[in-house]
């Protein structure tokens, strides 16, 4: 019996249980920063994560092609009016097999919810956190997220037919080409390899797939190592074979972004069909900020300090009788505003003379 036929941790009940919910733990992942001097002196690299609890259905993707931009993190230049999973599927399915695609329309994407009537029920429990996978030095800095999506509390999954397998499938919109991925790299999975394609250059939509498939892979997690089978495309490759948990650890250099839309689905490799049910969006935005003051700020500070020094000199050098020595600078025009003296701060890095 195929281990995926009816997993004890999943409720193999009749369809139509919905609506399913996305339970994120902890409720809000926070941004993490690290210095990245290899980019520039004073550079600070920040990873800002996001995860949406808005449930995306198979009908949203296959039938309605709903715009995913409301669920994508702030600051990511996502092209509006595009359904992320559908665009990723289309990009993969229209590529030839030799270029890592699905064979130019050989596969069929299907709505498993029957127009929304058969949405899943229960909840998908998601453990989500921000990760700085590599610091700088040794550099370059790599930042991303760690995610585990557990389906033990999902209800309404169908009984699987001949050749059916329960899988996760994940579409991506990414700004970077990760290059070749090796199963010996446990410091964070960098994402899709688009280097063997001729039509896809970052930023690009693509399915999160891995070739070759079928091998086993060990992922290092905080609670211990997890061994998974590498599922074949178009299924997402890394799923815990014991409880159908999706595990991902995407990472990228700075600046970059990673937007994902993940679905629980049923695949049939013989019929070349993928039925998707319910899913959610998550990802991260890697940005770089300069901690040193900008040239304009430096100029403003210099002008303010010079003015304050001259005023102080004028006061200190008054002649007897109260007549001040003339200043060797032009007076400010009527109605102009001179920079005010302020205490030193990390952003201004300028202080009044003593």
Within this chain, do residues 190 and 332 fall inside the same structural domain, yes or no? no
Q: What is the per-residue pLDDT for 299?
A: 55
User: Is the same domain home to 197 and 298?
Assistant: no
The reply to whether 267 and 337 lie within a common domain is no
- How wide is the angle at C-alpha 236 spanned by C-alphas 230 and 237, nearest 5°? 15
Burial of 248 (0-12, 13-18, 19+ CB in 10 A): buried
pLDDT at 226 (0 to 100): 61
Average pLDDT, the chain: 74
Question: How does pLDDT run across 54-78, given as a tens digit for each residue?
Answer: 999 999 999 999 999 999 999 999 9
Query: Is residue 8 included in any domain, yes or no?
Result: no
How high is the pLDDT of residue 107? 95
Confidence at residue 247, expressed as pLDDT on a 0 to 100 scale: 86
Q: Which residues contact 90 (CB under 8 A, 6 or more apart)?
A: 205
Residue 164's domain comprises: 21-290
51 and 141 housed in the same domain: yes
> Which of the two residues, 294 and 186, has the higher pLDDT score?
294
206-226 burial: b if 16+ Cβ within 10 Å, else e: bbbbbeeeeeebebeeeeeeb
Instruction: Kindly report which listed range (73-82, 169-178, 290-299, 310-319) carries the lowest average pLDDT score.
Output: 310-319
180, β-bridge pairs: none
Mean pLDDT is lowest, of 76-80, 174-178, 245-249, 290-294, for 290-294
Query: Averaged over 6-35, what is the pLDDT?
Result: 66
Higher pLDDT, 222 or 277: 277
Q: Are residues 27 and 107 in the same domain?
A: yes
- pLDDT of 189 over the 70 cut: no
Whether 118 contacts 112, CB under 8 Å: yes
Of 135, 21, 74, the closest CA to residue 257 belongs to 74
Are 247 and 338 found together in one domain?
no
Query: What is the tens place of the pLDDT at every residue in 162-181?
Result: 999 999 999 999 988 754 33
Q: Whole-angstrom Cα distance, residue 179 to residue 185?
A: 13
pLDDT reading at 4 higher than 90: no
Instruction: State residue 128's pLDDT score.
Output: 94
Which of 290, 311, 328 is the last residue before a domain boundary? 290
Kindly state whether residues 265 and 124 are assigned to the same domain. Answer: yes
Tell me which of 104-108, 204-208, 241-245, 327-331 is least confident. 327-331
Q: pLDDT per residue over 118-176, tens digit each?
A: 889 999 999 999 999 889 988 788 899 999 999 888 999 888 999 999 999 999 999 88
**11, part of any domain:** no
Q: Is position 6 within any domain?
A: no
15 inside domain: no
Q: Which of these ranges, 11-15, 40-44, 151-155, 296-300, has the smallest mean pLDDT?
A: 11-15
Over residues 264-290, the mean pLDDT reads 95
Share of the chain above pLDDT 90, in %: 42
Last residue of a domain, one of 237, 265, 290: 290
Residues 210 and 311 grouped into a single domain: no
Q: Tell whether 173 and 58 lie within a shared domain.
A: yes
Please give the tally of structural domains in the chain.
Answer: 2
Q: Does one domain contain both 208 and 260?
A: yes
Q: Is the pTM of this model over 0.85?
A: no
* Residues 188 and 322 reside in one and the same domain: no
- Copy the structure tokens of residue 100: 């890592």
- 50 or 196: which leads in pLDDT: 50
Q: If pLDDT is split at 50, 70 and 90, which confidence band does 222 have?
A: low
Write the pLDDT tens digit of every residue in 72-98.
999 999 999 999 999 999 989 988 887
Pair (251, 352) in one structural domain: no
């Amino acid at each position: 019996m195929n281990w995926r036929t009816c997993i004890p941790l999943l409720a193999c009940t009749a369809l139509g249980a919905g609506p399913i919910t996305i339970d994120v733990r902890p409720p809000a992942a926070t941004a993490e920063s690290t210095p990245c001097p290899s980019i520039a002196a004073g550079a600070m690299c920040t990873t800002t994560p996001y995860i949406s609890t808005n449930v995306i259905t198979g009908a949203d993707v296959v039938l309605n092609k709903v715009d995913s931009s409301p669920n994508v993190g702030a600051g990511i230049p996502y092209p509006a009016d595009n359904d992320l999973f559908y665009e990723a599927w289309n990009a993969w399915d229209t590529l030839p097999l030799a270029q890592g695609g699905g064979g130019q329309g050989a596969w069929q994407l299907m709505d498993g919810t029957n127009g929304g009537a058969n949405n899943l029920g229960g909840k998908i429990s998601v453990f989500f956190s921000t990760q700085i996978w590599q610091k700088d030095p040794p550099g370059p800095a790599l930042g991303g997220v760690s995610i585990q999506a557990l389906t033990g509390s999902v209800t309404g999954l169908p009984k699987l037919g001949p050749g059916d397998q329960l899988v996760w499938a994940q579409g991506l919109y990414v700004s970077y080409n990760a290059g070749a991925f090796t199963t010996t790299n446990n410091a964070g999975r960098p994402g899709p390899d688009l280097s063997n394609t001729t039509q896809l250059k970052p930023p690009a939509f693509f399915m999160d797939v891995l070739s070759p498939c079928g091998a086993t892979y060990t992922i290092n997690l905080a609670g211990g190592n997890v061994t998974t089978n590498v599922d074949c495309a178009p299924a997402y490759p890394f799923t815990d074979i014991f409880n159908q948990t999706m595990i991902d650890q995407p990472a990228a250099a700075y600046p970059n972004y990673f937007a994902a839309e993940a679905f629980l689905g049923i695949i049939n490799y013989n019929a070349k069909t993928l039925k998707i049910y319910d899913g959610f969006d998550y990802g991260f935005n890697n940005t770089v900020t300069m901690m040193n003051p900008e040239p304009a700020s430096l100029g403003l500070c210099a002008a303010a300090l010079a003015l304050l020094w001259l005023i102080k000199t004028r006061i200190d050098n008054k002649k007897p009788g109260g007549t001040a020595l003339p200043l060797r600078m032009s007076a400010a025009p009527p109605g102009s505003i001179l920079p005010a003296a302020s205490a030193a701060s990390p952003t201004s890095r300028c202080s009044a003379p003593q």
